[in-house]
Amino acid sequence: MRPKLIVGNWKMNGSRAANAALLEGIVAGLDGARAECAVCVPAPYLQQCEEALKGSPIAWGAQDVSAYEGGAYTGEVCAKMLSDFACRYVIVGHSERRAYHLESSGLVARKTLAVLKEGMTPIICVGETLEEREAGQTFDVVGDQLGTVLELLPLDAVAKIVVAYEPVWAIGTGKTATPEMAQEVHARLRAQLKARNGEAADGVAILYGGSMKPDNARELLAQPDIDGGLIGGAALKAQDFLAIIHATG
Ligand code: PEP
């Protein structure tokens, strides 16, 4: 059995005061939680997270990383800097970065390697747009996105990644994939991992993301290949985030 993993993606939200209240609220409500959990926060708040969460069951991480190791790349944050703040997770290839910052799957692959090199866990996002789904291209699109990353990964590294299936049409829209739709894609992604890495693929967590909320989380998380959630909007309210964490078992 794979343990469930619930990760909050705060996106570009937060302030020192709001974060303090949110983190305190989450920590206070964790009793009895079976899932592993983490928050991925804007880089300026990593130190605040480290101070607030050290010793708690909640891990923290970043939402993006540079593919470069360091040097003259103004505005970039490299993986070594993230590990300096004890990040466990780094989201790579979120659809907002692919869409607004024109990130290709090749770049996402290089970012994945940068994260692994520093001993952190990449959360590799894949997902199709509404047009792609309606054109029957979902499996081709997510298969290509994941395949490009896998091509660059050493064979033994697959056990160290997390994959997040996030249909673009479901992110921040209130539209959620049905549990069956999500399970179908997760099973295909698992089969793709298995075809390349055999049994090791059974240990890879594949998260669902896209308007996961307290009222739909239980059903989604009950699917055999949905190993947790990547949560945007609902991660900004302690009560909602906790309700999703507690929906795992
Ligand atoms: C996300 O940003 O990864 C996400 C899933 O957002 P939301 O839950 O708001 O759809």
Closest among 206, 197, 231 to 4, alpha carbons compared: 206
pLDDT digits (tens, 9 = 90+) for 70-87: 999 999 999 999 999 999
With 80 as the cut, is the pLDDT of residue 249 above it? no
The token duo for 192 is 């793709």
Mean pLDDT of the chain: 96
Q: Which atom of ligand 1 is nearest to the CA of 91?
A: 3
Q: How far apart are CA 188 and CA 140, in angstroms?
A: 10
| pLDDT over 90 at 1, yes or no | no
pLDDT of residue 106: 97
Strand partners, 123: 91, 162
Query: By alpha-carbon position, which residue is closest to atom 2 of ligand 1?
Result: 232
Residue nearest to atom 7 of ligand 1 (CA): 232
SS3 230: strand
Question: For residues 249 and 35, is the Cβ–Cβ distance under 8 A?
Answer: yes
Kindly give the distance from the C-alpha atom of residue 43 to the centroid of ligand 1, in angstroms, as a whole number. Answer: 18
Question: How would residue 189 be classed by pLDDT, with cut points 50, 70 and 90?
Answer: very high
Tell me: pLDDT of 5 over 90: yes
For residue 213, give the ligand 1 atom closest to its CA. Answer: 8
CA distance 198 to 243: 34
Which residue ranges form the domains of the chain, and what is each CATH number?
Answer: 5-237 (3.20.20.70)
Both tokens of residue 15?
């302030």
* Confidence class for position 174, pLDDT limits 50, 70, 90: confident
pLDDT digits (tens, 9 = 90+) for 18-71: 999 999 999 999 999 999 999 999 999 999 999 999 999 999 999 999 999 999
Beta pairing class for 89-92 and 58-62: parallel
Residue range 159-175: mean pLDDT, rounded: 94
The residue contributing the CA closest to ligand 1 atom 8 is: 232
Distance between CA atoms of 200 and 180, rounded to whole angstroms?
Answer: 24
Q: How far apart are CA 35 and CA 32, in angstroms?
A: 9
Q: What is the pLDDT of residues 108-146, one digit of tens each?
A: 999 999 999 999 999 999 999 999 999 999 999 999 999
3-state secondary structure at position 203: helix
211 is in an annotated binding site: yes
Handedness of CA 49, 54, 58, 64 (dihedral sign): positive
The pLDDT assigned to 161 comes to 97
pLDDT of residue 122: 98
Which residue's CA is the nearest one to ligand 1's atom 6? 232
* Of 68, 114, 127, 107, residue with least CA distance to 87: 114
| 172 labelled ligand-binding | yes
pTM for this predicted structure: 0.97
169 is in an annotated binding site: no
Q: Which residues line ligand 1 (CB under 6 A)?
A: 9, 11, 166, 171-172, 209-212, 230-234
ipTM: 0.97
Helical residues (DSSP H) of 5-158, grouped into ranges = 16-28, 46-53, 79-84, 95-100, 105-117, 130-134, 138-152
